[in-house]
Structures are given as C-alpha cells and as structure tokens.
Amino acid sequence: MNSFWQDLRYGMRMLLKHKGFTLVAVLSLALGIGANTALFSVVDAVLLKTLPVPEPERLVLFEWQAGRPFRTNGWWSGTSFVPAPPGTVADSLFRYEVFEKMRQARAVAPDSPLSDFFAFAPTRELSAVVGDQAEIVNGQAVSGGYYAGLRVQPSLGRAIIDEDDKPGAAPVVLLSHQYWQERFGANPAVIGQPLKLNKQSFTIIGVTPPAFTGTLQVDYRPDVTVPLACESLLEGERSRLGTATEPGAWWLDLMGRLKPGATSEQARDYLNGAFQASALEVMPPPRKASEPARLDPKDYPRLIAESGSRGMLDKRRVYTPTIYGLFIVVALVLLIACANVANLLLARAALRSAEINVRLAVGAGRWR
C-alpha cells in the first residue's frame, strides 16, 4: 500500500510538471465522455425512462390500422407517426364517439382484461389569467378515469374524476407542479380558487406530483389539465368533440391498464369489435365518385396494442433513428479521444525510455 501512494504522488507530480500533456489528455477524454454522457441523458429520457407511475408495465397504448379506402371525417388532428404497411393508413388518434363505445364495452363486461380505460389529448394553446397577468399555457384534456387509471395521486388537492367529466359538471382544472410553483409561488391556498382559461372560469382542484409530467409526447408538458367535457367550453365552435354542424375530430389518445395476468393482445382482441363497429359507424360518405360506398372487409380498421409504459410513442419513433445516428457519432468521438490519449502515452513512454532503462538496471520491477 505504501508503494501505491508513492506511485500516486509521483504520477501527480509528473502530470503537474508536463502541463501541456495533461491538458490535451484531459480535454480529449472530457470531450468524449461528456458527449456520451449528454447523449445517454437523451436516450434515457426518450427511449428508456418509464412513466413515474405504479406498475407502468401494465399500461397499454392503443393505435389503429386500416386499408387506405377507410375514411375519417377529414378533420384529423395532427400528423401520424405510426408506421403503416403499403396500402394502409395507421394512427394513434381516436374520435370521442369511438372512445365512448369502447369504454362502454369495457365497463359492461366483468371479464374485460382491462381494469381501467381512459383518454387524453393536448389542447390548443390556452390563454390563462393569473391575477392581473395573462399568458399562454399548454393544456391537456383527460377523461375522468385518467388519474385513477395511472394510479397518480395529486401532491395537493384531488384529481379529476368521472363526475367532473360529465356534461353540465362544474369546470375544474388541475395544475402541474412546475406551473403551481412558478405562477402561484407553491401556495397551498390555491385550491378552490378560480383560474380563467380562454375567458372561462375554472376552479383549481389540485396539483400533480413533481415527477409526473403527463403521458403525452416527450416534448410536451401540460401546465393545466381539464376534463374532456370542458374542451367544448374552451374551444367553442372549434371544439374537437364535434358540434351541431361539424363532426368530431380524430384527436384522442387512448390507454388502458391491464388486470394482473392479462396481456395487451387480449385487450386488443377484446376491444377490437367495439372499435371497428363504432369507427365504421362514424365513417363519412364517399367524397369522390372513385371512393367505394362500402368497405371491403379487408380494409376494415383494426386495433393495435402497444406498451404504454413510456407514454405516447409517436415522437419517440421519429427521434429514435436520429438518436441512434448521434450515438454512433459520439461513440466515434470517444474512440478518437481514447486513441489520442493512447498516442500521447506512447510518445511519453518513448521520451522516458532512458529513465526506464536506468530503473531496470538498478533492480526496479516492471510494475515500478
């Protein structure tokens, strides 16, 4: 052990003596290791990190695929990133009426493989008035079973429940923990206070936990959350729930929680009939003479079930190839940095060859 500390002190003296060598070696390794560390943080956030909820592996995310002749109402909220084979269309968005039929199918059957089934979606940008200041905030609309299905308990107040997500229910809003801290100074007295969103008054009922930022895309964090039933109050004639003159949009993301022992394939097969029937029911009539009035059964929409443990997958699918490309680049940077340091060490060893020969001549071991 004594010789180890002697070698360590000697090494430190040599590094301080040859500052140029030390600086180049440290900078080379810092560049390679720093780039890899930064990229791993991105990989962890985008590809590896699961939702901060109990048993995230039991969450299942629903998407759908259909033959190209299948028609929506033409009001499609967003760009699809779901991979689709040639001759088909695919997406992760659902219409509200379709969600309701699927929710009813799950609710009426005790043998359902799902213990919970819920919907969520980002809102358009909202105008919020806090005190006498107006600002733009990100929002999301969720069904009443959203927080219960995720097993998320608010850090303050209560969550949105089924009674809040009914027509005529009092408008309520849940604040994100970050927004509560930044705009309300983490004041617990905000519970029960009004908050104006798009000139409509909502009652603040709770604050989400610090670690929970929602289940939407990896680059979207809502500041406020409202029940789905309040979306029409916020949007008016632009409501994606549909109006008397405009059909609803395909805009909702759907997720469920599996019962113990159930599989995502069982959940998909169980809900596929209700999804298919309701999707065909709301399919608009042909817009062109070339479009068939009735679909061939092979073109019927069908449900897809994916893991919901990391939330929405759309943007992750887009980012994954880029991240893998960057991973190769930074790995090469680290390899080059290590090669540079190795070459520097070889050059230093050549300069010290006479010293090493003297050490060997007086009886020093090869480790010294």
- Residue-wise pLDDT tens digits, 94-145: 999 999 999 998 876 778 899 999 999 999 899 999 878 899 999 999 999 9
Distances (CA, A) of 27 to 10, 12, 261, 332, 345: 22, 17, 52, 16, 15
d(CA 95, CA 111): 25
Please tell me the distance from the alpha carbon of residue 256 to that of residue 1, in angstroms, as a whole number: 59
Q: What percent of the chain has pLDDT over 70?
A: 85
What residue segments make up the domains of the chain, in order of their start? 2-49+338-361, 56-319
Q: In which band, very low, low, confident or very high, does the pLDDT at 157 lie, cut at 50, 70 and 90? A: very high
pLDDT of residue 57: 94
Distance separating alpha carbons of residues 231 and 238, to the nearest angstrom: 10
Among 183, 178, 173, residue whose Cα is nearest residue 141: 173
Measured at the CA of 27, the angle between CA 22 and CA 31, to 5 degrees, comes to: 155
pLDDT of the residue at 140: 96
User: Cα–Cα distance between 273 and 315 in angstroms, integer?
Assistant: 28
Scored b (16 or more CB within 10 A) or e, 11-27 reads eeeeeeeeeebeeebee
Cβ neighbours of residue 333 closer than 8 Å, sequence gap 6 or more: 31, 32, 35, 36
Question: In angstroms, rounded to a whole number, what is the distance separating the alpha carbons of residues 233 and 241?
Answer: 10
**Which of the four pLDDT bands, split at 50, 70 and 90, describes residue 92?**
confident
Question: Which of 63-77, 89-103, 261-275 has the lowest average pLDDT?
Answer: 63-77
Pick the closest to residue 268 from 105, 81, 60 (CA basis).
Answer: 60
Structure tokens given for 116: 């919970």
| Average pLDDT value for the chain | 85
Has this prediction a pTM greater than 0.85? no
pLDDT for residue 206 is more than 90:
yes
- Give the span between the Cα atoms of 115 and 254, in whole angstroms: 14
Whether pLDDT at 354 is above 80:
no
